[in-house]
Amino acid sequence: MVEVTFVNAQYLWLLFIIPFLILTHFYGLRFSRKKAMRFANLEALARVSGGRKLSMNLPLLFLRFFTLLFLIFALSQPIFWYIGEGSDFNFLIAIDSSGSMLADDFPPNRLEAAKTAAKEFINTVPKDAKVGLMSFSGTQFIKQVMTEDFEAVELAIDGVNVEYSSGTAVGDAIIAGSNMIISEEKGRVIVLLTDGQSNAGTVLEKAINYANDNFITVYTIGMATAEGGRFQGIEALSTIDDSSLEMIAKNTGGAFYRAVNTNELIEAYREIAQTSKKKVPIRLAIWFTILAFLALTSEWVIVNTKFRSVP
């Protein structure tokens, strides 16, 4: 199974420029021909053109077409994925510890439910795996470095508390988590859980690129009920940015899970722990950039040599 994803898919809208380029080419050609007809010395024109008929400059059009096409694909940062089987994975758990995690729609509250599910996850992963733990809000907090001591990880999970730091920096959490697991030689997996949306820190596209550069897969879990919950007497209706969490997972080879109760939360962790599919990325942006440069160079050669076309 193969798949192509785009980190900056919004740039694909620029493909609509291509028909405009074609229309502009033929309109300019028609205008140039009208000017050429005013050239009274047809014998001189024939000598300049080498006796060739007036061309439609199609090679030039093709080169400009492919230059623009390759540039648009380079901007959209396509990633080619192919699937391989794997059984050796290490996991970094990243738990949102912002204030809204105290909401009570997951009994006794979201944070405690997340911690319970994380412990279930620890009991499900292969015994030879390494596991690390971090929490994040507007800042990242390393709770346990990568280790094979699962009891130490469980104790670290018990010690996760709400961190009153402004905002939720999902991008920073991905980069910090990547740095924690980057030295591991097995398959590198980050399991990121949040009840909100990224509103601080590094932009997600940059974090995705950093994870891909280091062959790290990110699974995302969004937790919150539609009704929301209460904490400290305040209504807490979290708005999960499903599209961003799905984009993170899809563009790093992982999967997105939406959990509305503790059982779904535990099941999401269990599926991630039992994963055997390993997506390997090949980033294509640099190749499209090279192709665009070659097409542009070829156009320059055609325009500036004896093979240039005469309007």
Where b means 16+ CB within 10 Å and e means fewer, 134-155 reads bbbbbbbbebbebeeebeebbe
pTM: 0.64
Pick 143 or 234 by higher pLDDT: 143
The model's pLDDT over 238-262, given as tens digits with 9 standing for 90+, comes to 667 788 888 898 888 888 998 888 8
Domain boundaries, the chain: 2-80+285-303, 87-275
**Distance (Å, whole) CA 199 – CA 169:** 6
Kindly tell me if the per-residue pLDDT of 70 is higher than 90.
no
Q: Yes or no: is domain 87-275 CATH 3.40.50.2300?
A: no
Q: Check: CB of residue 64 under 8 Å from CB of residue 25.
A: yes
The model's pLDDT over 262-305, given as tens digits with 9 standing for 90+, comes to 888 888 888 888 775 656 667 788 888 888 888 888 877 776 77
At residue 166, the pLDDT reads 67
Average predicted confidence (pLDDT) for the chain:
77
Scan for tokens 């550069």, then name that residue.
213
The model's pLDDT over 294-305, given as tens digits with 9 standing for 90+, comes to 888 887 777 677
Over range 177-187, report the average pLDDT: 82
Question: 27-36, 104-113, 201-210: which has the minimum mean pLDDT?
Answer: 27-36
Query: H/E element holding 190?
Result: strand 187-194
